[in-house]
Amino acid sequence: MSTVDSRCYYSRQTSPLPPELWGRVIQCLSNKDTRSFFSACRFFHDLAFPALFSHVVLRFGLWRADDEKNHADDDLEDSDQPDYGRTFQVVLGTEHKHEVAQNHMRTCEMLYCILHTPGFARVVRKLSVHAYILEDREGTFELYALREALLVMKNITSFHWDGRRPLPSAFVLDALAESSGHILRDLSLPYDNVTDSCLTKFTRLQTLALHRPNQYGVDVYTGGSDSVYISEVVKANQDTLKSLSLYGNAAWKCPVGSLLHLQELELILPVSGADFALILTQCADLRYLTLNISLGFNIELIDVLESHSAALPHLTAFKLLNANIPERLAASLATFLQNKKSLRMLDLACKTDHGGGVALPLLEVLPQLPALDVLGLTRVMSGDEMEGAEIDLLGRYIPECVSALMLRLDVERERTCSKWIDLVAKLPALRYLHILDSEICDGLKTQLRENLPRLRSLELLGFGPYVRWVERGDSERDMVRLGDAWRFRKVRFCTAEDFGCHADWEWLFRHHALGALVSRSFPSPRRSKLISPIGTPVRFGNIV
């Protein structure tokens, strides 16, 4: 008997820990350690199996870092109007064609395994689909195979669909509703009028996210007839719905009574602020608020925030994306924020109307927020003297207690890099630092790596799309180094589990991944092989 088998046999026969406690231990392990458990012996294999396969990712086609570049323009600054139907033409090289074939084979094997292994189908709790078929076809085979698999998976509580090639068909959602509709809690889909009529079949949702429409003329932006279906699904889930993410004016078509229990609301590209005041005053349970108002309608919405500055007294997180804010409106927004004593997370991805970063009134409000722990700011510097002054300004107002910090900035001169290092080194609780930029000078990257020992609490470091864990030894004398960079696919589809189960960090990076990825051209991501329940190389679980 091998050493590993002996240990497993011993623990199974004489260990004081029952399988239930071993299960709790496995839940605390990383994916890498869970896979090691899975491969050690039969005893640990059976224990790790449900945790390892609770989240299955199916890949239709091939997602690439540049695949969504055109679609990302809607959510980036300086967008003038929504872009409904642009397509991206892809010319595949030999390597990409091989990866497409591998993805197709592995997805087929995974679906086959689900269909013919009832024990496997039962442990799947979350199903994610990445739909990026590059060929000129509709994905009929993939959709029908998925339908058959859904019918045997009876315990799906979370279903996410990313990409639009193909879109989820009505019969796929019908199968999901038939098999797991009674327990489904989390639903994330691209909005499409082909599937909208299916949404009301889900009546116990806690989280609903409907992504950007992809058809020219879809009037969900302006609150037309397409928004009626969204209103109906919100009403059908009003007793359980806690988190809602909608595009355009769809939220204004939902009766306020159906939103009263919301704790999180994301309004992406609203064309007007029609009923925003009503939501602020009536939705007292709201804790997380995200506004993406890059279409130039920010004046109306921010004026509403100022006129209702006492609303949402228990607000925990506020994210403002892509807005150009005049000084007057910056003061208005600061008035709204300064009374939020429970605000732990703040992400101001906005600029002043003259192209600068976060306006001074918004910086001045930061020390007035005693609970602030997670912070994102935008600063745009130009020239040595101005850049140095901006660094001093940020150092004056960023609270020392922040544990996660995201900075969107342009560092134009290497001679100021040491001042940036000094700024972050003065934050003793900083565990996650992410710098998003249009062009970071190499000097800043180099100095941050060289000064990692000064950043004693730092655990995760990001430069644009390059995200790495900080690896430390057991003693202070041990070398501090950066781990391997996350694959770009992992950056694009990251979850709280990828951030070490730090949901606050995932919230801070949310809505920024795509912008970071499309800002440059990247090499193709690496591939890895893992072992499926039937011994076939596949990609699975929370592994991306």
Q: Kindly calculate the radius of gyration of the chain based on its CA atoms and give it in whole angstroms.
A: 24
Q: Looking at residues 365-375, what average pLDDT do you find? A: 97
For residue 201, count CB atoms less than 10 angstroms from its CB and return exposed for 0-12, middle for 13-18, buried for 19 or more: middle
pLDDT of residue 306: 87
Cite the DSSP H helix spans in 405-471.
Answer: 417-425, 442-450
> Tokens representing 71?
């679609």
Q: Looking at residues 243-271, what average pLDDT do you find? A: 92
Residues 424, 430, 434, 438: what is their CA dihedral angle, to the nearest 10 degrees? -20
pLDDT of residue 540: 32
- How confident is the model over 427-447, as pLDDT tens digits? 999 999 998 875 656 677 788
112-126, 202-216, 405-419: lowest mean pLDDT where? 405-419
pLDDT of residue 489: 92
Report the percent of the chain where pLDDT is more than 90: 44
Report the percent of the chain where pLDDT is more than 70: 71
What backbone phi and psi angles, to 5 degrees, belong to 441? -70, 145
- How confident is the model over 152-191, as pLDDT tens digits? 999 999 999 999 889 999 999 999 999 999 999 999 999 8
Check pLDDT > 80 for residue 49: no
Residue among 402, 410, 397 nearest 351 (CA): 410
pLDDT of residue 338: 92
Please tell me the number of Cα atoms within 13 Å of 344 on its side-chain side: 10
- How confident is the model over 260-289, as pLDDT tens digits? 999 999 998 887 777 899 999 999 999 999
Check pLDDT > 60 for residue 98: yes
The residue type found at 491 is: V
Check pLDDT > 50 for residue 525: no
Check pLDDT > 80 for residue 232: yes
22-36, 293-307, 459-473: lowest mean pLDDT where? 22-36
Check pLDDT > 90 for residue 237: yes
pLDDT grade for 522, boundaries at 50, 70 and 90: very low
Q: Looking at residues 525-533, what average pLDDT do you find? A: 36
Q: Looking at residues 43-51, what average pLDDT do you find? A: 62
Check pLDDT > 90 for residue 402: yes
pLDDT of residue 143: 95
pTM for the structure as a whole: 0.84
Residue among 358, 339, 338, 340 nearest 348 (CA): 358
Highest mean pLDDT among 136-145, 337-346, 469-478, 511-520: 337-346
Higher pLDDT, 498 or 216: 498
pLDDT of residue 383: 47
Q: Looking at residues 40-56, what average pLDDT do you find? A: 68
Compute the mean pLDDT over every residue in the chain, rounded to the nearest whole number. Answer: 80
CA distances from 493 to 163, 205, 527, 542 (A): 11, 21, 16, 10
Check pLDDT > 90 for residue 109: yes
Cβ-defined contacts of 503-508 (< 8 Å, 24+): 504/344, 504/345, 504/373, 504/374, 504/403, 504/404, 505/374, 505/404, 505/432, 505/460, 507/288, 507/317, 507/319, 507/345, 507/347, 507/374, 508/345, 508/347, 508/374, 508/376, 508/404, 508/406, 508/432, 508/434
118 preceded by a cis bond (ω within 30 of 0): no
pLDDT of residue 169: 92
Higher pLDDT, 533 or 72: 72
Q: What is the distance of C-alpha 44 from the center of its chain?
A: 31
Could you give the CA distance from residue 22 to residue 241 in angstroms, rounded to a whole number? 33
